[in-house]
Homo-oligomer: A and B are copies of this chain.
Amino acid sequence: MESAQLAKIFKALGHPTRIRIVQHLIEIDTCICGEIVGIFPYSQSTISQHLKILKESGIVCGEVEGPKTYFCVDKAVLKRLKQFVNAL
């Protein structure tokens, strides 16, 4: 992985709320935006924006199912991230 792509992932994780979203997604395996909105003291649009950033970095993926979108952590990307960090 090149530093530009890695930087994007690190940048995405460079916000407390987004770290906790990722942690929650790993625990829960998958969940919809609305559930995450219920956990944090931020508006729906803000959480949606955070999810967009996480998605764009590649660490999280979302699957549209009807009106809902199911989010989950991309395990392959997470694995690559772990490999990179461990190689440091």
Contacts and interface: CB of A to CB of B under 8 A. Distances in A.
Oligomeric state, in number of copies?
Answer: 2
Contacts of A11: 10-11, 14-15
Interface stretch (A20-28, A29-37, A42-50, A61-69): A20-28
Contacts of A13: 6-7, 10, 14
A20 B88 CA distance: 11
A16 B62 CA distance: 26
Which 4 pairs of residues, A with B, have the shortest CB-CB distance? A11-B14, A10-B13, A10-B14, A3-B16
A12 B8 CA distance: 11
Nearest to A25: B88
30 contacts: A3-B16, A3-B19, A3-B20, A4-B16, A6-B13, A6-B16, A6-B19, A7-B14, A7-B15, A7-B16, A7-B18, A7-B19, A10-B10, A10-B11, A10-B13, A10-B14, A10-B19, A11-B11, A11-B15, A12-B14, A14-B14, A22-B88, A26-B88, A78-B88, A81-B85, A82-B85, A82-B88, A85-B85, A85-B86, A86-B86
